[in-house]
Amino acid sequence: MKKLAISASLMLFAASGVMAGGDPAAGKAKAAVCASCHGMEGKAIAPMYPNLAGQNEPYLVGALKAYRDGQRQGGMSAVMSPMAKTLSDDDINNLAAYFASQK
């Protein structure tokens, strides 16, 4: 069931036009605020935060936009939504490109 939900989510992101293609260098410059929880290289500093390094780029774009636009609730949305509200689409694409490029 969980795999089905994940697959459906990814299909919705693809269908909604969530396209990646940001600039990893610009994302790195913007990632300083993310580092306090997710680490500068995308390796989380505590088990309650997810690693972003190597994460699927379109997933990161969709997740950040969902936090920014108030579509993602619960969990860490109380922390993530205010941070994501300050991000433009270009910022989100660049951050996603940066963290997706990490290994």
Residue ranges per domain, the chain?
2-101
Which of 38, 23, 29 has its CA nearest to residue 90? Answer: 23
Chosen CATH of 2-101 out of 1.10.760.10, 1.10.3720.10, 3.40.50.1820, 2.40.170.20: 1.10.760.10
Entry pTM: 0.79
CA 25 – CA 13 distance, rounded (Å): 24
Tens of pLDDT, residues 22-77 = 999 999 999 999 999 999 899 999 999 999 999 999 999 999 999 999 999 999 99
Tens of pLDDT, residues 78-97 = 999 999 999 999 999 999 99
The single residue listed with the structure tokens 């940001």 is: 22
Q: Residues, the chain, total?
A: 103
CA 103 – CA 35 distance, rounded (Å): 16
